[in-house]
Structure formats: structure tokens, C-alpha cells
With several copies, the nearest count.
Chain A
């Protein structure tokens, strides 16, 4: 027993930006066995529409057994979730997937873009917990200031270097997070960087290529449509690289084999 289906109670709701919400549930069992990079599947309707659960990265957990997700309301399911109120009950399955393997050697750099920021707070806390002294840099990206301002507060409490970029330049670097990586990481005496990345596909592809060039370890959190989240439907396929051992179609499944993959294993 390490995956649970629970009726969790909403204990806190926050709106962090124009369409950005954070929900806190009491889900003791899930919170207790979770690790950064794992996700949960939430039933995002009262009836049968939408039918399928929606996957969300675990954003934070607390000792008290609460669990947070951070999301953008972009469609039916997320709109439903954004309207939940304290005391409402939600059906949640998790923790799911493999989570990040935190490498104990070398420095750590977290790169989160958009809602890919969600798992980074949890990951940062775990890295800080386990590694002292910690060499941790955090690079966050968003569309604009409104989307990221409140989240930056949470990260700044960690006491590590946090830099950020916005697409429109309204806050931080004007441009992409990928432009920040090399200036920061290559000037650093630390050679052996571990990059943990979550964000839109084009961003992760770019991060993977930068890491490849610099021979940095790179892990990415992949997204696909999911029906089950537990390896049963075989629907959440992505294509892995073709090696000699693996045949031409090296299909991997995001929910079971991931969502965290070594960037080098993905066919971008």
C-alpha cells in the first residue's frame, strides 16, 4: 500500500494570479508517502463531465499531512477546481509516478516555467533538507509579473538564490529562463550540475539541449494526456530515444516510467 484514493477536504484556497490558484487539502496518507516530482490525480467534476481525473504535480506537503497543488485554470476541470471552497471534499488518488531522484553529488539547479514551477517548491525544500551546505539555484519563468509575484515570495523564504524571467519583462529578466542558465551555471566553479526542470515542452527541450552541451545531468518532468495515472491504460505514451538495445519504437509511459525522466532518454 503506497498509493491511496482519498476523499480529501479542502483546508485552504488561494488565488495567486489572474488564473492561478493554489489548493491545500488534508490528505494525510498521500502527503506522508509523497516525494518531490510525484503527482496526484483529482476528480475535477461532480458528475461525469469532465470524465477523467486531472493530473497535478505535488506542490508542497506539510508535516500535518496537508498537500498542495498549484494550477492554472485553463479548461473545464481546472475551472471546477478553482471554484472549490474550504470544506469541500475532493476525490484524490496519489502519490503517483516516480518523483525526482535527488543526486547527492554536485550542485543543484531547478528550472521551472509556468505551472512547471509547481513541483519545484517541494523539490527545493527536500534538497535543502538533505544537503548541508547546499549549492542550490532556482530559475523561474512566467508570462508576466502577475503570474509569478506571489510565488516568488514562497521561494525567497528558502534562503537560496532565486532568479526569474518573464516573457514580457514586467519582472526579472526579460526573456526566457533558458537564457539565464549558462550565465549563472558556467561562471560557477561547481562543475557537476544537476538540473531539474519542469515547464512547457519547448522550454524543456531547450533546457535538455543546453545540459547536453555542458554535460550537466538533467531531469525533466513530462506531460501527456492521462486516463488512469497508474500504468493501466497505456495511454500516456512518449517516445524514448532509440538505442541499440531498444527497438525503433521505444515507448515510455509518463505516469509509471515518469513523469520524471532523464532528459537524455527522451526523443525530443
Chain B
């Protein structure tokens, strides 16, 4: 009843965890049946380990939070050595979120991941600045996005999901660039760029000045973008942004998402993904649908 397909990838249910909000899976083993999740998208992996930004890295905002973790991660080698075996052992479906400062870095990580078993898909986080092209983010320039997607596409036959940034004038243009580049699916949205100021210290709260806004606050923007992108591309759309209840998840599916990712809500309710799976199933039963696929994009009719 809950089965969905993302390109060649078949998932038992449409509920995934969003990158950077579920650690490497193990962090939630006491709260959630992690092997029952649609998939776990792990914290973004770069080629080399990254220390991340200096603290403070997070601040709470109205119904949301800002983070400037700075993509701290263990790097692809240690991920494979230290984190992947556990997830493989637990029979989890693993999607590896990758990031790079250059097309070459994205490709190198992909090559390395290709050699490993137990990875179901790769999610390309294109919100990073391209250091070679003057720091403009891959995710805000459609020709750069197209370039990185098509290069990575050449490196792997794993399903390739491209994760879009919402900080653009027209997200459908970015989605189309990803589709043209050979993506099997797009996921959206990443965080909105925001900031907060400490009025006592008279300085930005985050050491990094700006950070990514996530949580329930951004849900309306995310839902609108999913709605637009679902109209613009033929590949499946994965909805992300502020999903905190099963009702939120249903909204995204009705808007055209084939699956959803839960991010910030894991922090304030570590059991939320299990609850959402149950909630979706109940909704389908009460509304007499036999499959979640029947309601994908239904609000468009």
C-alpha cells in the first residue's frame, strides 16, 4: 500500500529522513525502526573530512531553526569504513548525500561510493559554492547545475537524486536542468538562507553570520516549490521542508511528491518518522485508497 518508486529504486514507503538531520542512522536506533524507513539519507559527505564551522552553529527561530554546521562530515573513506557497515547490517536503505566544491570532487566521491555495496542511491547536494567558478553555488545557476549533474551521471548507474536549493528566482529552471543532466529524481527544498542577530552582543548569532532556515516555518514555501516542480519535470519529486506531522506529508504527496523527507522534526520528535508512516497508511485506508501512488499530485485535478 505504501510502496513507491523513485526511478529504478523501489521503497517500502515514501518516508525518508533528510540529510544532516538523522546523523548516520545509528543516532536514532533507540527511537525509530530505522530499517523500516523508506530510506535514510545520511549527512552530506565530501571527499575529505570537513571540520565544519566554528560555534555557535545553530539558533532557534519562530517555528524554525537556523544552522551553519558548515557541512562537517567524516569524509567518504571514513563513512564507508565506520558508518556504512552498521546501516548495511541493519538492512536500511541508504541514500548518500554528497557535496563538493568542484565537479571533480562530486565525481570522485561518486566513484568511490560506486565500489560499495548497500548504497541505494546518491543525492547530490548542489547548494555548495563552486570554488573554481568564483564561489557561485551550483544550485543557483542552471548551467552549472546541469554540468555537475551530467558529469556525475556518467560515473554511476545508481539512482541519482538532485537536491535543489530554494534560494532562486525560478526553481523549475533548476529542476529542468537536473532532469536534462540525467537525474532520476529531484528532491526539494534545501534550507532558505537566513540570519539572526544577538541584540545584546550586537552581532550575528551564528559565527558564520548566515545559516540555513529549516523547520515548520518554511513548509509553505517548500510545498509551493514542490507543486511547481512537479508540473515542470517528468522525473519523480521528493518533497522536503518543514514536514512535522503525517498531515504535512500528505500535503506534499497531494502536491505531487512521490516521497518525502523529514528533517528538523526529527530533532524535536525523534519518533516522528515512524508516526508519519502510520499516519499515511491510516489516511489512505480512511479515504479508501489502495496505494499511496493514487494520491501523488491529486490536489492538481
Cβ B267 vs Cβ A227 within 8 A: yes
Cβ A234 vs Cβ B267 within 8 A: no
- Docked complex Cα distance between A174 and B57 (Å): 37
Tell whether A249 pairs with B54 under 8 Å between CB atoms, given A2-B30, A232-B21: yes
- Docked complex Cα distance between A156 and B216 (Å): 47
Interface residues in A, total, Cβ within 8 A: 32
Among listed A49-57, A144-152, A162-170, A187-195, interface-contacting one: A49-57
With a cutoff of 8 Å between Cβ atoms, the chain A residues found around residue B64 in the complex are: 51
A155 on the B face (CB < 8 A): no
**Residue in B closest to A248 when the chains form the complex, CB atoms:** B51
A105 on the B face (CB < 8 A): no
With a cutoff of 8 Å between Cβ atoms, the chain A residues found around residue B54 in the complex are: 237, 239, 249, 251
- Docked complex Cα distance between A50 and B268 (Å): 10
Cβ A93 vs Cβ B52 within 8 A: no
- Docked complex Cα distance between A224 and B59 (Å): 10
- Docked complex Cα distance between A234 and B60 (Å): 14
Tell whether A5 pairs with B271 under 8 Å between CB atoms, given A234-B52, A237-B52: yes
A238 on the B face (CB < 8 A): yes
Q: Which positions 226-247 of chain A face chain B at CB distance < 8 Å? A: 226-228, 230-239, 247
**Residue in B closest to A237 when the chains form the complex, CB atoms:** B55
- Distance from B41 Cβ to chain A, minimum over Cβ atoms (Å): 12
With a cutoff of 8 Å between Cβ atoms, the chain B residues found around residue A2 in the complex are: 30
With a cutoff of 8 Å between Cβ atoms, the chain B residues found around residue A225 in the complex are: 56-60
Cβ A230 vs Cβ B60 within 8 A: no
Cβ A228 vs Cβ B55 within 8 A: no
Cβ A234 vs Cβ B268 within 8 A: no
A268 on the B face (CB < 8 A): no
**Residue in B closest to A250 when the chains form the complex, CB atoms:** B51
A153 on the B face (CB < 8 A): no
Interface residues in B, total, Cβ within 8 A: 35
- Docked complex Cα distance between A234 and B54 (Å): 11
Interface string of B1-34 (1 = CB under 8 A from A): 0000000000000000000111100011011000
- Docked complex Cα distance between A74 and B269 (Å): 23
With a cutoff of 8 Å between Cβ atoms, the chain B residues found around residue A227 in the complex are: 58, 60, 65, 67, 264, 267
Tell whether A232 pairs with B266 under 8 Å between CB atoms, given A1-B30, A51-B63, A51-B216: yes
Cβ A50 vs Cβ B28 within 8 A: no
- Docked complex Cα distance between A236 and B59 (Å): 10
- Distance from B194 Cβ to chain A, minimum over Cβ atoms (Å): 14
**Residue in A closest to B215 when the chains form the complex, CB atoms:** A51
- CB < 8 Å: which of A1, A51, A236, A237 contacts B60? A51
- CB < 8 Å: which of B20, B28, B51 contacts A249? B51
- Distance from A78 Cβ to chain B, minimum over Cβ atoms (Å): 13
- Chain A CB within 10 Å, residue with most, of B22, B56, B69, B270: B270
A28 on the B face (CB < 8 A): no
Cβ B31 vs Cβ A3 within 8 A: yes
Tell whether A251 pairs with B65 under 8 Å between CB atoms, given A224-B56, A227-B58, A232-B27: no
With a cutoff of 8 Å between Cβ atoms, the chain B residues found around residue A216 in the complex are: none
Cβ B271 vs Cβ A228 within 8 A: no
**Residue in A closest to B51 when the chains form the complex, CB atoms:** A249
With a cutoff of 8 Å between Cβ atoms, the chain A residues found around residue B269 in the complex are: 43, 91
With a cutoff of 8 Å between Cβ atoms, the chain A residues found around residue B69 in the complex are: 233-235
- Distance from A158 Cβ to chain B, minimum over Cβ atoms (Å): 33
With a cutoff of 8 Å between Cβ atoms, the chain A residues found around residue B267 in the complex are: 52-53, 227-228, 232-233
With a cutoff of 8 Å between Cβ atoms, the chain B residues found around residue A50 in the complex are: 60
**What are 18 sample pairs from A and B whose C-beta atoms fall under 8 A apart?**
A48-B62, A48-B63, A48-B216, A52-B60, A91-B269, A225-B56, A225-B57, A225-B59, A226-B58, A227-B65, A231-B23, A232-B21, A232-B23, A237-B52, A238-B55, A247-B51, A249-B52, A251-B51
A-side residues, CB < 8 A to B, are 1-5, 43, 48-53, 91, 93, 224-228, 230-239, 247, 249, 251
Rank and list the top 6 A-B pairs by shortest CB-CB distance, nearest first: A235-B58, A249-B51, A232-B23, A237-B55, A228-B267, A3-B30
